[in-house]
């Protein structure tokens, strides 16, 4: 698919719509086999992961529930203070569920490290992390997802839920954002 005309910031399409759809079909099958009918809660970290969650939950072929939380990590300079602030919390008591955190992208790893630590304190039956995108070259803290659908190099990406200043979440594909365009203006 060609980049939409409205956007001069789209440098290149990195992952096409159909590639995302195929990877999600496989991920849905994998999640469905992991839990063998036990209670699953798919937890989306807002806002970036809402599109991924919407498609992923429809690729899961066993009963599952969904939940949302909004988390922000606080940093002292470039270092995480180790504190994560939940601006919107889950409504479920996760001690009754096998939890799958559904994230859009892992960059430094700090957000998920903090969120995982927080959710573990609440004693879920088990906890796994599934991310659409992984940028391992940017990691500042050790963190590995149980499943990463795509590994990308050091690009700032937009689309399929991911934003730049709240724009582009509605692009149906993952694109590289062209920072040079702003520098020229
Ligand atoms: P981390 O704590 O792993 O550094 O941060 C991950 C969060 O940073 C993601 O959930 C996402 O909100 C944001 N982020 C990291 N890399 C990108 C990127 O390439 N594009 C966009 N739109 N957000 C990113
Ligand atoms: Mg995010």
CATH number, domain of 137, equals: 3.40.50.2020
Find the ligand nearest to 168 CA: 1
Per-residue pLDDT reduced to its tens digit, 82-141: 567 889 999 999 999 999 999 999 999 989 999 999 999 999 999 999 999 999 999 999
Told to judge if 36 belongs to the known catalytic residues of this protein, a careful annotator would answer no
Per-residue pLDDT reduced to its tens digit, 12-39: 999 999 999 999 999 999 999 999 889 9
Compute the distance from residue 46 Cα to the ligand 2 centre, in Å: 6
Compute the distance from residue 108 Cα to the ligand 1 centre, in Å: 8
**Per the domain annotation, does 181 fall within a domain?**
no
Compute the distance from residue 136 Cα to the ligand 1 centre, in Å: 12
**Per the domain annotation, does 13 fall within a domain?**
no
**Per the domain annotation, does 3 fall within a domain?**
no
Task: List the catalytic residue out of 104, 107, 114, 134.
Answer: 107
**Per the domain annotation, does 77 fall within a domain?**
yes
C-alpha to C-alpha distance for 43 and 103, rounded to whole angstroms:
8
Q: Are 57 and 63 in contact (CB under 8 A)?
A: no
**Per the domain annotation, does 10 fall within a domain?**
no
- H-type helices in the chain, by residue range? 17-35, 50-59, 110-120, 180-184
**Per the domain annotation, does 85 fall within a domain?**
yes
The parent domain of residue 96 ranges over 23-154
- The pLDDT of residue 85 is 83
Ligand 1 pocket member 47 (CB < 6 A): no
Count of structural domains, the chain? 1
Distance of CA 41 to the CA centre of its chain: 15
The answer, as to whether pTM is greater than 0.85, is yes
pLDDT grade for 185, boundaries at 50, 70 and 90: low
Indicate the top mutation candidate among 101, 107, 156, 162 to test ligand 1's pocket, ranked by most ligand atoms within 8 A of CB: 107
Per-residue pLDDT reduced to its tens digit, 51-74: 999 999 999 999 999 999 998 766
**Per the domain annotation, does 114 fall within a domain?**
yes
54: how many CB neighbours lie within 10 A of its CB?
13
- Going by C-alpha positions, the residue among 146, 149, 170, 148 that lies closest to residue 158 is 170
């Amino acid at each position: 698919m060609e980049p939409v005309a409205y956007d001069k910031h789209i440098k290149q399409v990195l992952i096409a719509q159909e590639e995302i759809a195929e990877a999600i079909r496989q991920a849905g099958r994998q999640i469905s086999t992991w839990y063998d009918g036990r209670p699953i809660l798919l937890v989306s970290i807002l806002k970036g992961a809402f599109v991924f969650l919407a498609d992923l939950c429809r690729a899961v072929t066993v009963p599952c529930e969904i939940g949302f939380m909004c988390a922000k990590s606080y940093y002292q300079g470039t270092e995480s203070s180790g504190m994560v602030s939940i601006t919107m919390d889950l409504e479920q008591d996760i001690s009754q569920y096998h939890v799958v955190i559904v994230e859009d992208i892992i960059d430094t790893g700090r957000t998920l490290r903090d969120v995982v630590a927080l959710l573990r304190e609440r004693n879920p039956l088990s906890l796994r992390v599934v991310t659409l995108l992984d940028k391992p070259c940017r990691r500042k803290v050790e963190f590995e997802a149980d499943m990463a659908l795509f590994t990308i190099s050091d690009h700032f990406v937009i689309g399929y839920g991911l934003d730049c200043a709240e724009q582009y979440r509605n692009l149906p594909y993952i694109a590289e954002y062209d920072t040079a365009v702003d520098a020229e203006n």
